[in-house]
A and B are shown apart, each in its own frame.
Chain A
Amino acid sequence: MSALLAFSLASGAAAHRLDEYLQATLIGVSRDGTDVEIQLTPGVAMLPLLLAVIDQDRDGRISPTEEQAYASRVARELELRVDGVSAPLSLIESKFPTIEAMREGLGTIRMKLRTARSGHSLRFENRHLPQISAYLVNCLASPSDGLLVGPQKRDEQQRSIQFDYAFGAGAVPVPRALWPAAIGMLLVVRMAILLYRAPSARRSA
């Protein structure tokens, strides 16, 4: 195409992330635990700030010890509560890109965390470096597990999320506020069954 190309690009517009630290979290709930996957991508302009946090000996490299220390810090600054009770996340895996990739705004730190706690209500909050960060947080779908998730409530910046959930075909997530009523209903049904069975049990005895 022979063409006269003309357009204006705002200065600084480029292929890479610039002035924010993108922290994207996916939360997977299952019957036997809760998995958290977080991808942290520093913008080019944010790298010096981030390196000041990670590169503790200031040698311009990220050593395995510094990786571990940083990943542990991130894990400590993620708060997960399951059914209203704190559920500390254990670091399962972390992968760090090269500093060169991060200088291009391309490097993504990837972390997988897990707790064996599962339940019916979850609240997650990311408190890591809020001054420089943009956040994404979502709950993964799991149709094969019969997972049903109620409305996801987030703050405007997506630093926190909370939702109710349930498993099994036809299961409906019960909001925490309704648990006493739900438990009461179950007890009433159980007592009705016992009362119904009692006379027939006496007859057969």
Chain B
Amino acid sequence: MVRTTLLGTTIAILCCSLAAAQSSSSVAPIVAGANAFLGSLDEGQRSKVLFDFNDAAQRVKWSNLPTTMVPRAGLKMGDLSAPQRKAAMALLAAALSKHGYEKVLAIVEGDEALKAASGGRGGTMFGRDLFYISILGKPSMKDPWMLQFGGHHLALNITIVGPEGILTPSLTAAQPAKYTVDGKTVRPLGAENDKAFALINALDEPQRKQAILNYKVADLVLGPGQDGKTIQPEGLKCSAMNASQQAMLLDLAGEWAGIVNEQAAAARMAEIKANLSATWFAWSGPTTNGTPAYYRIQGPTLVIEYAPQPLGGDPTMHIHTIYRDPTNDYGKKSVGH
């Protein structure tokens, strides 16, 4: 009897240790990356990049607009030495999945392409040197802290609470939405576009009638500056989709949820999947791929919007998206603030 109890206790302790080790496995490289980056900075730079975790003003200092128009705080990539910049990008790579990191690089390099195409004034408004990094709180395996990286068309707000990596709210965008590098076509948000068109075309006629809104949507509804707001959902409820369509929607949502590191992304995807029957898919615009269309995925813990921008050029070449969790933006549920 005693032997059985001892064996049970040992197994339980081993299981707990394994779970703890597993949950900390993705956080340790991020904390190490943050400390390496901070270690590469001088005192003045460190005071610029570090903020109090509860600094509410810094937390919401993000935008889709160029940094010359909406100033960001923290350290500017262009002000860092090559080793410091490498350390900053290594931190970002540790916090994100491989796919997410590549997406971020494609957005940043897209801004560099925009700079090249814009000539004179573009040099001061766009480009990879004008992205900022900041850290709120002390990088920790246990206590909450936050990593921000962004600039024109990008705002990553990653709240880390132990094993949790919360990426909401975050903004991804692209202008140009398609460019070439060394003869290779880059579409930073190409999957977000193509998977959505595949989904709307996988719906049958009654489903599509339900999903397609009868009005135009000119921009993001819950973009920058709309923290804490939730709108009434509309469109087609996922409970009215078949298993294949639901899988397509989850795959689409994964383009945002999967930006963060694999372990955090898996937990987030499980949450989105658990709420799938109460999630809605809404569409506005034509359904032929290559045309500009707005869509929204909205569930109890999820808001995704994808909005081509009719700002004087081809809307399909200028995309804004937003990714939110109305219950846990900035980790408010996980942190309790």
Contact = CB atoms under 8 A, between A and B. Distances in A.
B313 A136 contact: no
B3 interface: no
A157 B113 CA distance: 34
A10 interface: yes
B90 interface: no
Nearest to B70: A106
Interface stretch (B12-20, B43-51, B164-172, B229-237): B229-237
B128 to A, nearest CB: 8
Contacts of B117: 5, 7, 9
B215 A7 contact: no
B269 interface: no
B333 interface: no
Residue from B65, B109, B231, B318 whose CB has the most chain A CB atoms within 10 Å: B231
Given A6-B180, A12-B313, A157-B216, A138 B69 contact: no
B166 to A, nearest CB: 20
B311 interface: yes
Interface stretch (B131-139, B196-204, B217-225): B217-225
Contacts of B180: 4-7
Chain A's interface: helix, strand, loop or mixed, by majority? loop
Contact of A16 (B183, B221, B234, B311): B311
A13 B182 CA distance: 24
B179 A13 contact: no
Interface residues on B, range: 35 or more
Interface in A130-166: 134-136, 138-141, 143, 149, 151-152, 154-158, 163
B21 to A, nearest CB: 36
Contact of A13 (B70, B215, B218, B314): B314
Nearest to B112: A5
Nearest to A105: B311
A19 interface: yes
Contact of B218 (A14, A22, A104, A140): A22
Contacts of A12: 312-313
Given A1-B181, A138-B221, A15 B175 contact: yes
Contact of B311 (A14, A26, A106, A149): A14
A128 B317 CA distance: 30
Residue from A9, A104, A143, A155 whose CB has the most chain B CB atoms within 10 Å: A9
B66 interface: yes
B85 interface: no
Residue from A1, A43, A140, A155 whose CB has the most chain B CB atoms within 10 Å: A1
B109 A3 contact: yes
A5 B186 CA distance: 10
17 contacts: A4-B180, A5-B179, A6-B180, A9-B118, A10-B317, A12-B313, A13-B317, A15-B69, A19-B312, A24-B219, A106-B69, A106-B70, A134-B216, A136-B219, A139-B232, A141-B232, A157-B216
Given A138-B221, A151-B234, 17 more contacts: A6-B179, A6-B180, A10-B314, A13-B312, A13-B317, A15-B126, A15-B175, A17-B311, A26-B231, A43-B311, A106-B69, A136-B219, A141-B231, A141-B232, A152-B234, A154-B215, A158-B217
